[in-house]
């Protein structure tokens, strides 16, 4: 029987189409979300440029002051590279495109938002190898409540989220053995991230957790020391060179102003912070914005039945994800476990530091949560059409609810 050979021309055409899609999809995502968040910022600009602490307790006026003119004063002392990085970008955009200062600032933040979202898509495509799965969960990341709001206003956490993405992606792509020079690379990223947000020194905990039960004791000590010491040294000396003072004096000032060990002993503060980080950050309990969210805001989900069903599904998926990670032997388990434990430690830190404004900080854990959710999706034993239907339904509700809340403004 004669064997029919495949057409090499068709094969090459298919390869070219796939290559084009690999480029076109992330470029399309980037352009789309630059446009979306540029429009979003216009919608709230008058409010956030004239009032402080009005949305999520965010320091929007201070952020604008720090980006209009290069400065190392006041708030920038705890985010040393923020002004020195973004101010030249704003001025360059203003000159090159002939925009006003306000429009240049809005475009800069829109670009940061789009870089976060495009980066998440590229990571998920590498992680899952499925374009459709990657698009769905990139959609979740884009429309999660905290992200959608933070990316729409002038806030420094869009930069923090970008460094979390860079760190986690680098960590994921490095060899599992993690030789010492890779540890140094991760530590340098941690140090640079801390110059935008000191709390990101905590990123060094992720490999420490991952290799605690995998590496030999001596190797684990080296990994732990390098990840913590190098990051702290970079943070300390960079600040000292610029400000000529101990940077921990500044951090101590903020700690005395906001932090309290009593918060970790108060069950309402703990539950409130975890509610903000793992639920309110995903789906708004109201159809409007607020400056903060507390335990009583759980009642808001009862105002719309679909919202209640969606938050219940999200809770089920999250708990199932935790079960899968810690009760089963699965591929990529240590990586996911370390990410999830880092989110818990970060949540506890913000419980200690400032639980009343936990929603402001919550967007920092949403990238690790997306990775957990996509793993839940892959491990569920449901038929693919059922999985896609349920998760797509959740995505539509999340997007509709959170966009509506944003557009309805502050009450």
Per-domain boundaries in the chain: 25-173+259-408, 174-258
Q: What is the pTM of this model?
A: 0.92
Start-to-end C-alpha separation, the chain:
76
> What is d(CA 81, CA 89) in angstroms, rounded to the nearest whole number?
13
Please, what is the average pLDDT of the chain? Answer: 88
Buried b (16+ CB within 10 A) or exposed e, 117-137: bbbbbbbbbebbeeeebbebb
Model confidence at 406: pLDDT above 50 = yes
Mean pLDDT value of segment 115-141: 95
User: With contact defined as beta carbons under 8 Å apart, do 250 and 77 qualify?
Assistant: yes
Q: What angle do CA 164, 355, 71 make, to 5 degrees?
A: 55
- Predicted confidence (pLDDT) per residue in 69-122, tens digit: 887 776 677 788 899 999 999 999 999 999 999 999 999 999 999 999 999 999
Nearest alpha carbon to residue 134 among 145, 144, 147, 121: 121
pLDDT (average), residues 202-216? 82
Find the mean pLDDT for residues 179-200. 87
Calculate the alpha carbon distances from 109 to 62, 102, 219, 254, 284 in Å.
15, 11, 41, 26, 22
**Which of 7-16, 69-78, 167-176, 205-214 bottoms out in mean pLDDT, i.e. has the lowest?**
7-16
pLDDT of 19 higher than 70 = no
């Amino acid at each position: 029987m004669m064997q029919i050979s495949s057409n090499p021309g068709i094969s090459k055409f298919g390869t070219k189409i796939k290559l084009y899609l690999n480029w076109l999809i992330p470029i399309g995502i980037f352009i789309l979300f630059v446009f979306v968040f540029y429009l979003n910022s216009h919608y709230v600009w008058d409010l956030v440029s004239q009032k402080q602490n009005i949305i999520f307790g965010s320091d929007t006026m201070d952020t604008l002051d720090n980006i209009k003119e290069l400065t190392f004063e006041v708030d920038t002392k705890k985010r040393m590279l923020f002004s020195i990085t973004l101010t030249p970008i704003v001025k360059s955009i203003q000159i090159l495109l002939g925009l006003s200062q306000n429009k240049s600032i809005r475009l800069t933040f829109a670009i940061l938002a789009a870089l976060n979202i495009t980066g998440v898509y590229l990571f998920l495509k590498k992680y899952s190898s499925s374009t459709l799965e990657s698009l769905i969960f990139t959609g979740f990341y884009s429309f999660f409540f905290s992200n959608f709001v933070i990316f729409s206003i002038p806030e420094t956490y869009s930069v923090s989220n970008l460094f979390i993405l860079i760190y986690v992606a680098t960590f994921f792509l490095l060899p599992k053995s993690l030789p010492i020079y890779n540890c140094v690379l991760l530590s340098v990223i941690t140090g640079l991230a801390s110059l935008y947000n000191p709390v990101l020194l905590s990123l060094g905990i992720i490999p420490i957790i991952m290799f605690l039960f995998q590496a030999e004791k001596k190797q684990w000590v080296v990994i732990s020391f390098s990840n913590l010491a190098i990051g702290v040294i970079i943070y300390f000396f960079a600040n000292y060179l610029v400000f000529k003072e101990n940077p921990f004096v500044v951090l101590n000032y903020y700690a005395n102003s906001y932090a309290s060990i009593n918060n970790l002993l108060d069950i309402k503060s703990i539950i409130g912070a975890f509610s903000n980080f793992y639920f309110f950050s995903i789906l708004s309990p109201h159809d409007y914005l607020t400056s903060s969210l507390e335990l009583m805001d759980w009642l808001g989900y009862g105002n719309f039945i679909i919202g209640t069903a969606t938050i219940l599904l999200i809770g089920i998926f999250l708990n199932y994800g935790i079960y899968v990670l810690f009760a089963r032997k699965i591929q990529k388990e240590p990586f996911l476990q370390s990410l999830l434990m880092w989110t818990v430690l970060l949540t506890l830190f913000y419980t200690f530091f400032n639980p009343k404004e936990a929603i402001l900080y919550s967007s920092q854990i949403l990238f690790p949560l997306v990775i957990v959710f996509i793993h839940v999706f892959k491990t569920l034993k449901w038929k693919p059409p059922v999985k896609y239907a349920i998760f797509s339904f959740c995505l539509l509700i999340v997007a509709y609810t959170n966009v509506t809340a944003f557009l309805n403004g502050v009450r």
